Every structure is written in structure tokens, then in C-alpha cells.
């Protein structure tokens, strides 16, 4: 494909015109598909707009159906090709400009590398909760009824290196009805030490198992119940029965739950 385009550009004079006969004399047939494929393989977005102007300037006409295959139909009148268009369409120049564009976006005027700022999600609701032990229990990921939304989410989830179930960087966690969230809805657990654990609602704690406010499980004093693959679960988590031991900085009570409007 690249050879065909290169031969096409090489055949164009810097000034003057060309006719359909000049193109058909090439050994390599040129089709709409071959030009479009070359355009798709270019490494920057700029080629999309350049290719449109070039095709209009060189070919000047619409595609035609010929024997079941789309081919470029040529006019027999000369078509002027500007040197500016020829140079702009050069794949080498386009790739070079694309690299410069990428470099400029990654480096500030003083030459230091910069990172794109992540725009924070606007919270739907924030719940500050009273202190508790900080215990974080877990439940098995393979115990859900196939007819429920919880099961559907687990078919889309994966297991991280500690045995915790996740979707797109958020942990599957069961919380109480106090937070008024839906299965699949995003929320963050803010810990007393300042760390934040990104989560989504993977299950609902039953009201009969929680306190009068439907926040904590009564028997464990836990407000967050992580969904795990027990066979892959971290040995320290198994030993203590507490997901707080999965990662450094997690062994701290939850002091706030921030709920978002996003939902898996």
C-alpha cells in the first residue's frame, strides 16, 4: 500500500498537469481501497484532512462502481498539483509533525515532562460516618445467583494480585442501604489516614445484618465487605480475615464514603 502511494507522489510533477493516462501507465494499480488503507495506516490525525484535500485536488471526481470493484475514475483534463500539497502529504513529514505534536504535549515550555491532569468526578453524595474498628471483611465472588445483577458484574470483573475482584480499577465491595446506592454504582472509601480506595457496589448488605442505621455489619463492626476470589486471596488477608492487610495504608478505619453518579 505504501509503495502505491509513494509511486503516485513520485509521478506527480512539481508544476503542470497530469491526466488519467499518466496514472494508468503505472505498473501498480491504484484503487480507492489502497489509498484509504494507506491513509488509515498513517500515524497522525492530520493525514485525514490532508488526504481529503489531496484526493479532491488530484482526482477531482467521485468514485465509480466498475465490474463489482470500487476504482478511481480519472478525468482526462489536466489537474494542477501544488508543491505545498505534495509536501504536506509526504508521510515522512506527517509522521515528523505528529511526533513533534506529541512531544509538545508531553513537555512544558521549560523542557520538563508534564502529566495530564485527571479531572475529578463530581460527587453525587458524601457520607461522613462515625468511627469504628476499621475491619474490612470479605465475601466469595462465586456465590451470586445468575439471575442477579451482582452475578453479571462478576462475569465482567477480574482478580487483582491480592485476590480482590475489580472492574476498571475499582474494587467490588458490599455496603449497607444507608448509602442509597445501586448495584454497580461507583463510590470511594476515604480512610482515616487519608488514603482513598476506589470501589463500586458489588453487593448489598442485608438490613437485618446491619446496625440501626444500616451502615455496619453487627457481628464484625465492618462497613465495607470486599468481594474476593478466595483461591487467589492474599495469605495475610486469609490469616487475619481482614482485607485491611491486602495493601499498605489500608489498615485504617473508613471515615467517609463518597458516592458518584457513574455506574457499571
Average pLDDT score over residue span 24-36: 53
DSSP state of 251: -
Q: At what angle do helices 46-58 and 91-106 cross, to 10 degrees?
A: 160
- Residue 57: closest CA among 86, 29, 28: 86
How would you classify the pairing of strands 123-128 and 254-263? antiparallel
Average pLDDT, the chain: 73
Contact between 130 and 192 under an 8 Å Cβ cutoff? The reply is: no
Please, which pLDDT band fits residue 154 given cuts at 50, 70 and 90? very high
The residue that leads in pLDDT, 27 or 170, is 170
Report pTM.
0.57
Span 233-245, pLDDT tens digits: 999 999 999 999 9
- The pLDDT value recorded for residue 36 is 59
Q: Which of 50-54, 116-120, 122-126 has the lowest mean pLDDT?
A: 50-54
The residue that leads in pLDDT, 65 or 29, is 29
Q: Distances from the Cα of 31 to the Cαs of 23, 152, 218, in angstroms?
A: 11, 46, 72
Which H or E run contains 123?
A: strand 123-128
- The pLDDT value recorded for residue 47 is 44
- Confidence check: pLDDT of 194 > 50: yes
Q: Where are the domains of the chain?
A: 2-106, 123-263
Dist. CA 58–CA 79, nearest whole Å:
6
Amino acid at each position: 500500500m505504501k509503495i502505491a502511494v509513494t509511486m503516485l507522489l513520485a509521478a506527480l510533477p512539481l508544476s503542470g498537469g497530469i491526466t488519467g493516462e499518466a496514472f494508468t501507465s503505472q505498473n501498480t494499480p491504484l484503487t480507492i481501497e489502497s489509498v484509504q488503507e494507506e491513509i488509515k495506516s498513517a500515524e497522525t490525525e492530520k493525514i485525514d484532512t490532508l488526504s481529503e484535500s489531496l484526493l479532491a485536488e488530484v482526482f477531482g471526481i467521485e468514485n465509480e462502481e466498475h465490474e463489482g470493484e470500487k476504482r478511481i475514475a480519472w478525468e482526462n483534463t489536466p489537474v494542477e498539483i501544488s508543491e505545498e500539497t505534495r509536501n504536506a502529504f509526504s508521510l515522512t513529514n506527517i509522521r515528523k509533525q505528529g511526533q513533534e505534536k506529541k512531544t509538545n504535549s508531553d513537555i512544558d515550555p521549560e523542557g520538563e515532562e508534564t502529566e495530564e491532569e485527571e479531572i475529578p468526578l463530581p460527587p453525587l453524595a458524601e457520607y461522613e460516618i462515625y468511627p469504628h474498628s476499621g475491619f474490612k471483611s470479605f465475601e466469595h465472588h462465586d456465590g451470586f445467583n445468575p439471575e442477579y445483577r451482582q452475578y453479571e458484574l462478576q462475569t465482567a470483573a477480574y482478580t487483582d494480585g491480592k485476590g480482590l475482584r475489580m472492574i476498571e480499577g475499582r474494587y467490588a465491595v458490599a455496603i449497607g442501604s444507608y448509602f442509597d446506592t445501586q448495584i454497580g454504582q461507583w463510590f470511594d472509601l476515604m480512610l482515616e489516614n487519608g488514603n482513598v480506595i476506589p470501589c463500586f457496589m458489588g453487593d448489598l448488605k442485608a438490613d437485618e445484618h446491619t446496625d440501626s442505621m444500616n451502615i455496619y455489619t453487627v457481628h464484625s463492626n465492618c462497613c465495607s465487605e470486599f468481594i474476593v476470589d478466595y483461591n487467589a486471596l492474599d495469605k495475610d488477608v486469609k490469616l487475619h480475615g481482614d482485607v485491611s492487610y491486602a495493601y499498605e495504608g489500608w489498615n485504617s478505619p473508613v471515615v467517609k464514603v463518597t458516592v458518584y453518579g457513574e455506574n457499571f
